[in-house]
Structure 1
Amino acid sequence: MTSSDPELEAMVAKASINAEVAQLIYEARTKAGLTQKQLAELVDTKQPVIGRPF
């Protein structure tokens, strides 16, 4: 389906990578027992940045 459209293929690949990174961050955060707010404070940002979809 996407192989005939390189731009769409690149978008799908990027979305897949983003989803994988988001999942890894979520797993690490929950394993560490951190809330989104606590993680945000540790990385000097705000909770909505942590909680927003990629």
Structure 2
Amino acid sequence: MDDKKAEQRQVDKFKDLARELEADEDEAAFEEQVKKVAKKEPPPKRDNPESN
């Protein structure tokens, strides 16, 4: 029974976090949110002589 309660608490935590992040089941809305935080491509690495 404790496992079921722990699992339910985990589910509730997930749901609370999803609400806080304004999660949406709509794929288009999700992609729009991802674009706000994701970068297209990392900048090219430079050799830094000071770090060697």
Q: TM-score, length-normalised on structure 1?
A: 0.49
1:37 aligns with 2:31: yes
1:22 aligns with 2:6: no
Find 2:9's aligned residue among 9, 13, 25.
13
How many percent identity over aligned positions? 9
The ranges of structure 1 where at least 4 consecutive aligned residues each deviate by more than 2 angstroms after the TM superposition are none
- The structure in which a higher percent of residues are helix is 1
Aligned-partner residue type, residue 20 of structure 1: D
**What is the alpha-carbon distance in structure 2 between the residues aligned to residue 6 and residue 43 of structure 1?**
38
> Tell me, which stretches of 5 or more residues in structure 1 are unaligned?
30-34, 45-54
Offset at residue 41 of structure 1 (A): 1.7
Larger radius of gyration: 2
Where relative contact order (Cα < 8 A, 6+ residues apart) is larger, the structure is 1
Report how many residues are paired: 33
